[in-house]
Structure 1
Amino acid sequence: MLESKDGLWRWTGAMLVTAGLLALSSAALATNQSQQRQQGRNANQAAKQEARAGKVDCRAANQKSNSQCRQDKRDTKQQGRQEKRDIKY
């Protein structure tokens, strides 16, 4: 009878340790993913701001037609989206 209680305690202890290790590893993974998402958002927002400023500068300088300025803005935003994808993967 004493051996079965001792074995039960060992089994319970092993299960608790295993559960603790799994919880820690998933928490570390979630933290890493969170950081990647935040970096991706930052890159995307920076690209949007850069695109807006570029379009305003383009129109103010009257270097190109409005459609060409719009296309430059789209290209800049697309580069930001690609940078975001590169960060996340």
Structure 2
Amino acid sequence: MHAWKSGFTALTVAMALTAWSGMSSATEQGEQRRDARDVRQDTRQDSRHTKQDCRAANQKSNANCRHDKRDTKQEGRQTARDIKY
């Protein structure tokens, strides 16, 4: 009976440690996802301002301003990927 209790205790401790280490990893991934999401949100605002500034300066066609906006958003997406992975 004593050996059974020791084995049960060891199994319980092992399961707790495994769960704890998994939660730590999940927390880090959650933080990375939040950081990446924040970067993408900031990028959306930056890309809007890029297009508005482009149109206000009237230096390019609307198509070229849209292209600049897309480039800005793509750079932000890449930054977010770099954070996550």
Over aligned residues, Cα RMSD in angstroms?
0.6
- Shift in Å, 1:63: 1.4
Give the TM-score taking structure 1 as reference length. Answer: 0.93
> 2:36 maps to which residue?
40
Percent of aligned positions that are identical: 49
Q: Which 5+ residue runs of structure 1 have no aligned equivalent?
A: none
> 1:11 maps to which residue?
7
* Distance across 2 between alignment mates of 1:27 and 1:85: 22
Q: What is the aligned length?
A: 85
> 2:16 maps to which residue?
20
* Distance across 2 between alignment mates of 1:54 and 1:61: 11
* Distance across 1 between alignment mates of 2:50 and 2:79: 18
- Shift in Å, 1:61: 1.1
SS where residue 60 of structure 2 aligns? coil
The structure whose Rg is larger is 1
- Shift in Å, 1:23: 0.9
- Shift in Å, 1:78: 0.3
* Distance across 2 between alignment mates of 1:47 and 1:25: 33
Give the TM-score taking structure 2 as reference length. Answer: 0.97
Runs (4+) of structure 1 exceeding 6 A deviation are none
Q: Which 5+ residue runs of structure 2 have no aligned equivalent?
A: none
* Distance across 2 between alignment mates of 1:24 and 1:51: 41
1:26-82 deviation digits (Å, cap 9, x = unpaired): 110110010000011011111111000110111011111111100000000000110
